[in-house]
Amino acid sequence: MLLDIVWGVVLILVIVVSSGVMIDIFEKLVREIKTSRLVLATVLVGFSTSLPELFVGIAAALRNQPQIALGNIVGANLANLSWIIGGAALVFGAIPVIGEYLRNELWITAGMVMMPFLLMTDGKLTRLDGLVLIFLYLLYANNLVRRGNSPLRALKISGRKIIKHRVKTRMNSIVQAFKLISWLGVLGVSALMLVNLAVKVSGSLGVSSFWIGLIVLAIGTTLPELVLTIVASEKREISLILGDILGSVVINSTLILGIIVMISPIGYTDPLQKGISGLFLMTILGLFWLFTKSKHKLDRWEGAVLVGIYAMFVGIQLMLA
């Protein structure tokens, strides 16, 4: 079991590193082929920190284990909205929240996060539900660009500056494409191995695959958001923190889950675990709005409350495992 844990940590780190390298390569590639602004914003803003969830989800769906993917997405959303953003406030001090986030992004995020739970009222997610989720993300991305709130406006994506690059030779694009495909293979194989390991561990521990995704994999796949939040907090790039967290949560709940369900529909889901997860998500979103609506900032003690709620959630899940 100890060897499995060590191997799992290694695979998670490989997935995180591969995701970062792929985004860097993809940024260069799309600039060289001069793709449209909408495509650039939709792909890069959406996938910048959500590649781990995407590839783990696809690997789980291909292995006919969509419950792992569902647990990973729900757990990642909970982690992002509680201990990651709350931890940033707790460690680095109060995080200002501008009015625009309160008026628009926060409520849009809340609606997108709860949409999968509404679609699961019949106990399953079908391919039709997957199409609905993908369509919602496309509407969100289009609205994001039209309103001018895309991080491209500031020439930043996930904290990395976009460097304007003029193509010298077509060979450079071919090299970048080859690198992208190579790292794509590394990421895909690592994700598949991680899912296989998760299935093995869940069987050994006698817990559900949904639980493994909800707690164990979710903590690992949110490492990109954690790193970005720490860096942005140190530089006081507050809008970057909120933009990345809210954007990541939206794409997890819509596009990524939609793709997973299109590959492998999710059948029966444990109503107790689903209900507890949904309740905690609503509680965290409600508290975040309550904390920030009057003074437009998230204080250190409020961050501690969000972290504490996540710890409570993990504790309850451990008791139910």
In which band, very low, low, confident or very high, does the pLDDT at 26 lie, cut at 50, 70 and 90? low
Q: Is 237 helix (H, G, I), strand (E, B) or coil?
A: coil
Q: What is the mean pLDDT of residues 160-184?
A: 60
pLDDT confidence of residue 226: 77
Q: What pLDDT, in 10s, does the model give residues 282-302? A: 999 889 888 877 777 888 899
- Please check the confidence at residue 309 and state whether its pLDDT lies above 90: yes
The span from the CA of 36 to the CA of 38, in Å, is 5
pLDDT surpassing 60 at residue 256: yes
- Give the Cα separation of 233 and 248 in Å (integer): 17
Determine the pLDDT at residue 203: 75
Res. 167: pLDDT tops 50: no
Q: What is the dihedral of CA 84, 15, 256, 95, to 10 degrees?
A: 20
Q: Coil, strand, or helix at residue 148?
A: coil
Higher per-residue pLDDT: 185 or 19 = 185
For residues 188-202, average pLDDT = 76
151, pLDDT greater than 50: no
For 233, the token pair is: 């907090």
* pTM for the structure as a whole: 0.79
**DSSP codes joined into one string, 55-98:** HHHHHHHHTT-HHHHHHHHHHHHHHIIIIIHHHHHHHH--EE--
In whole angstroms, what is the distance from residue 316 CA to residue 309 CA?
11
Q: How confident is the model at residue 42 (pLDDT cuts 50, 70, 90)?
A: very low
Is the model's pLDDT at 23 over the cut of 90?
Answer: no
Using the CB atoms, write b or e for 171-208: b if 16+ within 10 Å.
eeeeebeebbeebbeebbebbbbbbebbbebbeeeebb
What percentage of the chain exceeds 70 in pLDDT? 75
Domain boundaries, the chain: 2-320
Q: Which residues contact 133 (CB under 8 A, 6 or more apart)?
A: 115, 116, 119, 253, 254, 255, 257, 258, 261
Q: Distance between CA 308 and CA 294 in Å, rounded?
A: 22
Of the pLDDT bands very low, low, confident and very high (cuts 50, 70, 90), residue 16 is: confident
Mean pLDDT estimate for the chain: 77
Tell how far CA 150 is from the center of its chain.
17
Which CATH fold would you assign to the domain 2-320? A middle domain of Talin 1 (1.20.1420)
Give the model's pLDDT for residue 48.
63
Residue 34 has pLDDT above 70, yes or no: no
- According to the model, what pLDDT value does residue 268 have? 65
